[in-house]
Amino acid sequence: MRISHLATLLVFGVLIAEQSIAVAGAATDCAAMSGTMEAGNVCHVHTAASGYTMDLRFPTDYADEQAVLDYLTQNREGFINVAQMPSIRNVPYEMDVTTESFTSGPPPGATQSVVLKLFQDVGGARPTTWYKAFTYDVAHRKPVTFETLFPPDAKVLNTIFPIVQADLERQTGLTGVIATGDGLDPSHYQNFAITDDAVIFYFGQGELLPSDAGATSASVPRTALPPLQLT
Protein backbone atom coordinates (compact mmCIF):
# COMPACT_ATOMS: atom_id res chain seq x y z
CA MET A 1 0.00 0.00 0.00
CA ARG A 2 2.83 2.36 0.81
CA ILE A 3 4.51 1.72 -2.57
CA SER A 4 1.18 2.17 -4.35
CA HIS A 5 0.63 5.46 -2.53
CA LEU A 6 4.12 6.62 -3.46
CA ALA A 7 3.57 5.69 -7.10
CA THR A 8 0.34 7.66 -7.13
CA LEU A 9 2.10 10.69 -5.73
CA LEU A 10 4.84 10.39 -8.34
CA VAL A 11 2.34 10.18 -11.21
CA PHE A 12 0.42 13.13 -9.80
CA GLY A 13 3.65 15.09 -9.50
CA VAL A 14 4.59 14.34 -13.11
CA LEU A 15 1.17 15.47 -14.34
CA ILE A 16 1.39 18.70 -12.35
CA ALA A 17 4.91 19.33 -13.65
CA GLU A 18 3.86 18.72 -17.26
CA GLN A 19 0.87 21.01 -16.82
CA SER A 20 3.05 23.74 -15.31
CA ILE A 21 5.56 23.43 -18.15
CA ALA A 22 2.76 23.61 -20.73
CA VAL A 23 1.26 26.72 -19.12
CA ALA A 24 4.66 28.41 -18.93
CA GLY A 25 5.41 27.46 -22.53
CA ALA A 26 2.08 28.84 -23.72
CA ALA A 27 2.74 32.17 -22.02
CA THR A 28 6.22 32.31 -23.57
CA ASP A 29 4.91 31.52 -27.05
CA CYS A 30 2.20 34.15 -26.71
CA ALA A 31 4.70 36.76 -25.53
CA ALA A 32 6.94 35.93 -28.50
CA MET A 33 4.02 36.90 -30.75
CA SER A 34 3.65 40.17 -28.77
CA GLY A 35 0.37 38.91 -27.40
CA THR A 36 -1.35 38.64 -24.04
CA MET A 37 -2.97 35.58 -22.51
CA GLU A 38 -6.74 35.61 -22.08
CA ALA A 39 -9.18 33.24 -20.42
CA GLY A 40 -9.49 29.78 -21.92
CA ASN A 41 -5.82 29.50 -22.94
CA VAL A 42 -6.26 32.02 -25.74
CA CYS A 43 -3.48 34.32 -26.93
CA HIS A 44 -4.61 37.73 -28.19
CA VAL A 45 -2.32 39.71 -30.46
CA HIS A 46 -3.42 43.22 -31.41
CA THR A 47 -1.38 45.74 -33.39
CA ALA A 48 -2.48 49.12 -34.69
CA ALA A 49 0.08 50.88 -36.88
CA SER A 50 -0.21 53.81 -39.26
CA GLY A 51 -0.80 51.59 -42.29
CA TYR A 52 -2.50 48.52 -40.88
CA THR A 53 -4.38 46.85 -38.05
CA MET A 54 -3.97 43.25 -36.97
CA ASP A 55 -6.03 41.25 -34.49
CA LEU A 56 -5.24 37.59 -33.86
CA ARG A 57 -6.72 35.14 -31.40
CA PHE A 58 -5.51 31.55 -31.20
CA PRO A 59 -5.43 28.76 -28.58
CA THR A 60 -2.22 27.91 -26.78
CA ASP A 61 -3.22 24.45 -25.57
CA TYR A 62 -3.23 22.61 -28.90
CA ALA A 63 -1.16 19.43 -28.80
CA ASP A 64 0.88 20.44 -31.87
CA GLU A 65 1.12 24.12 -30.99
CA GLN A 66 4.31 24.76 -32.96
CA ALA A 67 2.51 24.00 -36.24
CA VAL A 68 -0.09 26.68 -35.42
CA LEU A 69 2.57 29.19 -34.39
CA ASP A 70 4.62 28.58 -37.55
CA TYR A 71 1.60 29.13 -39.79
CA LEU A 72 0.51 32.30 -37.98
CA THR A 73 4.04 33.69 -37.93
CA GLN A 74 4.46 33.13 -41.66
CA ASN A 75 1.16 34.83 -42.49
CA ARG A 76 1.72 37.68 -40.06
CA GLU A 77 5.15 38.45 -41.50
CA GLY A 78 3.84 38.28 -45.05
CA PHE A 79 0.98 40.63 -44.20
CA ILE A 80 3.25 43.15 -42.47
CA ASN A 81 5.68 43.13 -45.41
CA VAL A 82 2.85 44.00 -47.79
CA ALA A 83 1.26 46.52 -45.43
CA GLN A 84 4.54 48.42 -45.01
CA MET A 85 5.02 48.92 -48.75
CA PRO A 86 4.24 52.42 -50.09
CA SER A 87 0.59 52.71 -51.11
CA ILE A 88 -1.85 55.36 -52.32
CA ARG A 89 -4.61 53.63 -50.39
CA ASN A 90 -6.07 55.74 -47.58
CA VAL A 91 -7.66 52.87 -45.66
CA PRO A 92 -5.36 50.79 -43.41
CA TYR A 93 -4.74 47.19 -44.36
CA GLU A 94 -6.37 44.66 -42.06
CA MET A 95 -5.67 41.12 -40.87
CA ASP A 96 -7.92 39.25 -38.44
CA VAL A 97 -7.67 35.68 -37.16
CA THR A 98 -10.34 33.92 -35.13
CA THR A 99 -10.32 30.33 -33.92
CA GLU A 100 -12.57 27.36 -33.24
CA SER A 101 -11.40 24.31 -31.30
CA PHE A 102 -12.87 20.79 -31.29
CA THR A 103 -12.16 17.46 -29.61
CA SER A 104 -13.33 13.92 -30.17
CA GLY A 105 -13.15 10.83 -28.01
CA PRO A 106 -12.26 10.55 -24.33
CA PRO A 107 -8.66 11.29 -23.28
CA PRO A 108 -6.10 9.95 -23.84
CA GLY A 109 -7.37 8.42 -27.09
CA ALA A 110 -8.70 11.71 -28.36
CA THR A 111 -8.18 14.07 -31.27
CA GLN A 112 -7.81 17.82 -31.09
CA SER A 113 -8.71 20.12 -33.96
CA VAL A 114 -7.96 23.83 -34.30
CA VAL A 115 -9.51 25.82 -37.13
CA LEU A 116 -8.13 29.26 -37.91
CA LYS A 117 -10.33 31.65 -39.89
CA LEU A 118 -8.17 34.29 -41.53
CA PHE A 119 -9.38 37.57 -43.01
CA GLN A 120 -7.09 39.87 -44.98
CA ASP A 121 -7.71 43.16 -46.71
CA VAL A 122 -4.54 44.21 -48.51
CA GLY A 123 -5.97 46.49 -51.17
CA GLY A 124 -7.20 43.95 -53.68
CA ALA A 125 -10.54 44.00 -55.44
CA ARG A 126 -12.10 42.53 -52.31
CA PRO A 127 -10.96 41.18 -48.93
CA THR A 128 -10.12 37.49 -48.69
CA THR A 129 -11.21 34.95 -46.10
CA TRP A 130 -9.86 31.43 -45.79
CA TYR A 131 -9.37 28.63 -43.29
CA LYS A 132 -6.40 26.68 -42.01
CA ALA A 133 -7.20 23.62 -39.92
CA PHE A 134 -4.96 21.42 -37.80
CA THR A 135 -5.96 18.04 -36.36
CA TYR A 136 -3.82 15.96 -34.04
CA ASP A 137 -4.12 12.36 -32.85
CA VAL A 138 -3.25 12.81 -29.19
CA ALA A 139 -3.00 9.11 -28.37
CA HIS A 140 -0.49 8.41 -31.15
CA ARG A 141 1.13 11.86 -31.08
CA LYS A 142 0.88 12.58 -34.79
CA PRO A 143 -0.92 15.02 -37.09
CA VAL A 144 -3.99 13.78 -38.93
CA THR A 145 -4.33 14.59 -42.64
CA PHE A 146 -7.11 13.89 -45.09
CA GLU A 147 -4.90 11.27 -46.72
CA THR A 148 -4.42 9.37 -43.44
CA LEU A 149 -7.95 9.84 -42.09
CA PHE A 150 -9.61 7.16 -44.23
CA PRO A 151 -8.57 3.78 -45.65
CA PRO A 152 -6.66 4.34 -48.91
CA ASP A 153 -9.13 2.33 -51.02
CA ALA A 154 -12.31 3.76 -49.48
CA LYS A 155 -13.16 6.20 -52.34
CA VAL A 156 -14.61 8.28 -49.55
CA LEU A 157 -15.19 11.40 -51.65
CA ASN A 158 -17.96 9.58 -53.49
CA THR A 159 -19.78 9.72 -50.15
CA ILE A 160 -18.50 13.06 -48.86
CA PHE A 161 -19.12 15.22 -51.92
CA PRO A 162 -22.92 14.73 -52.20
CA ILE A 163 -23.35 15.47 -48.49
CA VAL A 164 -21.13 18.56 -48.67
CA GLN A 165 -22.90 19.74 -51.81
CA ALA A 166 -26.34 19.39 -50.23
CA ASP A 167 -25.24 21.17 -47.05
CA LEU A 168 -23.68 24.09 -48.94
CA GLU A 169 -26.74 24.40 -51.18
CA ARG A 170 -28.96 24.47 -48.10
CA GLN A 171 -26.85 27.20 -46.49
CA THR A 172 -26.37 29.44 -49.52
CA GLY A 173 -29.29 28.74 -51.84
CA LEU A 174 -26.79 28.22 -54.69
CA THR A 175 -27.53 25.06 -56.66
CA GLY A 176 -25.60 23.32 -59.40
CA VAL A 177 -22.53 25.56 -59.07
CA ILE A 178 -19.98 23.00 -57.84
CA ALA A 179 -18.30 21.16 -60.69
CA THR A 180 -18.08 17.42 -60.08
CA GLY A 181 -14.34 17.51 -60.72
CA ASP A 182 -13.90 20.09 -57.96
CA GLY A 183 -16.20 18.25 -55.58
CA LEU A 184 -14.20 15.05 -55.99
CA ASP A 185 -10.80 16.74 -55.72
CA PRO A 186 -9.10 15.86 -52.40
CA SER A 187 -7.20 19.15 -52.39
CA HIS A 188 -10.44 20.90 -51.41
CA TYR A 189 -10.87 18.78 -48.28
CA GLN A 190 -7.56 19.37 -46.52
CA ASN A 191 -9.05 21.63 -43.84
CA PHE A 192 -11.28 19.72 -41.45
CA ALA A 193 -12.15 19.22 -37.80
CA ILE A 194 -13.22 16.02 -36.08
CA THR A 195 -15.96 15.79 -33.46
CA ASP A 196 -17.60 12.76 -31.89
CA ASP A 197 -20.46 13.01 -34.39
CA ALA A 198 -19.07 14.56 -37.57
CA VAL A 199 -16.16 15.60 -39.72
CA ILE A 200 -16.52 19.30 -40.55
CA PHE A 201 -14.90 20.49 -43.78
CA TYR A 202 -13.90 24.13 -44.30
CA PHE A 203 -13.67 25.93 -47.63
CA GLY A 204 -12.07 29.30 -48.27
CA GLN A 205 -13.65 32.11 -50.23
CA GLY A 206 -13.92 31.05 -53.89
CA GLU A 207 -13.25 27.39 -53.08
CA LEU A 208 -16.01 25.13 -54.45
CA LEU A 209 -18.49 28.04 -54.43
CA PRO A 210 -18.29 31.46 -56.13
CA SER A 211 -16.31 34.06 -54.22
CA ASP A 212 -19.47 36.00 -53.34
CA ALA A 213 -20.56 33.08 -51.13
CA GLY A 214 -17.64 33.78 -48.79
CA ALA A 215 -15.89 31.18 -46.68
CA THR A 216 -18.04 28.17 -45.89
CA SER A 217 -18.10 24.88 -43.99
CA ALA A 218 -20.08 21.67 -44.26
CA SER A 219 -20.64 18.90 -41.74
CA VAL A 220 -20.55 15.22 -42.72
CA PRO A 221 -21.97 12.78 -40.13
CA ARG A 222 -19.48 10.14 -39.06
CA THR A 223 -22.22 7.53 -39.44
CA ALA A 224 -22.08 8.15 -43.21
CA LEU A 225 -18.32 7.61 -43.35
CA PRO A 226 -16.08 4.57 -43.07
CA PRO A 227 -14.35 4.23 -39.68
CA LEU A 228 -11.74 6.92 -39.19
CA GLN A 229 -8.15 5.65 -39.18
CA LEU A 230 -7.23 6.92 -35.73
CA THR A 231 -5.89 3.72 -34.20
Whether the pLDDT of residue 18 is over 50: the answer is no
Q: What is the DSSP string of 46-69?
A: EEE-SSEEEEEEEES--TTHHHHH
What is the three-class DSSP state of 181? Answer: helix
Q: Provide the b/e sequence for 17-28 (b: ≥16 CB within 10 Å).
A: eeeeeeeeebbe
Q: Would you give the DSSP letter of residue 97?
A: E
The count of other CB atoms within 10 Å of the CB of residue 66 is 9
Strand partners, 38: 42
Q: Which residue has the higher pLDDT, 5 or 105?
A: 105
Confidence of residue 17 (pLDDT cuts 50, 70, 90): very low
- Asked if 72 and 30 touch (Cβ cutoff 8 Å), the reply is no
CB atoms within 10 A of CB 154: 14
pTM of the model: 0.87
What is the helix (H) or strand (E) element at residue 31, kind and residue range? helix 2-32
Q: pLDDT of 109-134, one tens digit each?
A: 799 999 999 999 998 778 999 999 99
Helix (H, G, I), strand (E, B) or coil at 17: helix
Q: With 90 as the cut, is the pLDDT of residue 7 above it? A: no
Domains of the chain plus CATH, in order, are 2-142 (3.30.565.40), 146-224 (3.90.640)
In the chain, what is the straight-line distance between the N-terminal and C-terminal CA atoms, in Å? 35
When comparing pLDDT for 8 and 73, which is higher? 73
pLDDT tens-digit map of 143-184:
999 999 999 888 999 999 999 999 999 999 999 999 999 999
CA distance 20 to 39: 16
